[in-house]
Amino acid sequence: MTALCTGSFDPITVGHYDYIRRAAAIFDRVVVAVSVNTEKKYMFDLESRVRFVKEAFEAFPNVSVAVDSGWVADLAAEHGADVIVKGVRNGTDLDYEYTIACVNKKTSGVDTFFIPSAPEYCFISSTMVREMIKHGKDYRPYVPEGVRLYGEEAKDV
């Protein structure tokens, strides 16, 4: 079975890494789709975000990286994904992701599989990491090993 994990990964965090790693242990193949939303202002450009994800998962032969610039369920079909996988940290995440899951199921027939955050990661978000970077704080414990160039590559926010 193939799973599709989507997100902006601006930047990828240890929480993202944990749920994608867990998905890679369950599914034969995992495609991590880095999202592009022209309405959103990113701290890191698409090329950097894709590179960060590739660096984080270079030791995982069953994980590949794609770019998502359209309808997620269409991307799932394009990559032969049987399911979309989303990590959820709390009830707010679940409420938001559940609505999207219902739309994807209704319009495209694709199911969504939720992986709850490990307790040690439930407070970590890309927003938190971006704020730490902006204020010169040590963000490194909150990003995967090998992904360390955030401060040097961050755009002015």
Q: Which domains does the chain have, with CATH numbers?
A: 2-153 (3.40.50.620)
**Token representation of residue 137:** 């704080």
pTM over 0.85: yes
| Residue 117 confidence (pLDDT) above 90 | yes
Q: Would residue 136 be called left, alpha or beta, if left means φ above 0 and alpha means ψ between -120 and 50 degrees?
A: left
pLDDT of residue 39: 82
Active site residues: 16, 40, 89, 126
Q: Is the pLDDT of residue 156 over 50?
A: no
Residue 59: both structure tokens together: 């030791």
Q: How far is CA 78 from the centre of its chain?
A: 18
Q: Are 36 and 69 in contact (CB under 8 A)?
A: yes
Which residues lie across from 64 on neighbouring strands? 31
Tokens 């590179």 label which residue?
Answer: 51
CB atoms within 10 A of CB 82: 15
- Tell me the percentage of the chain whose pLDDT exceeds 70: 94
Q: Phi first, then psi: what are they for 135, rounded to 5°?
A: -100, 10
pLDDT band, residue 76 (cuts 50/70/90): very high
Q: Is residue 106 pLDDT above 60, yes or no?
A: yes
Average pLDDT on 80-84 reads 95
User: pLDDT tens digit string along 125-151?
Assistant: 999 999 999 998 999 899 998 776 544
Average pLDDT of every residue of the chain? 91
Express each pLDDT in 18-41 by its tens digit. 999 999 999 999 999 999 987 889
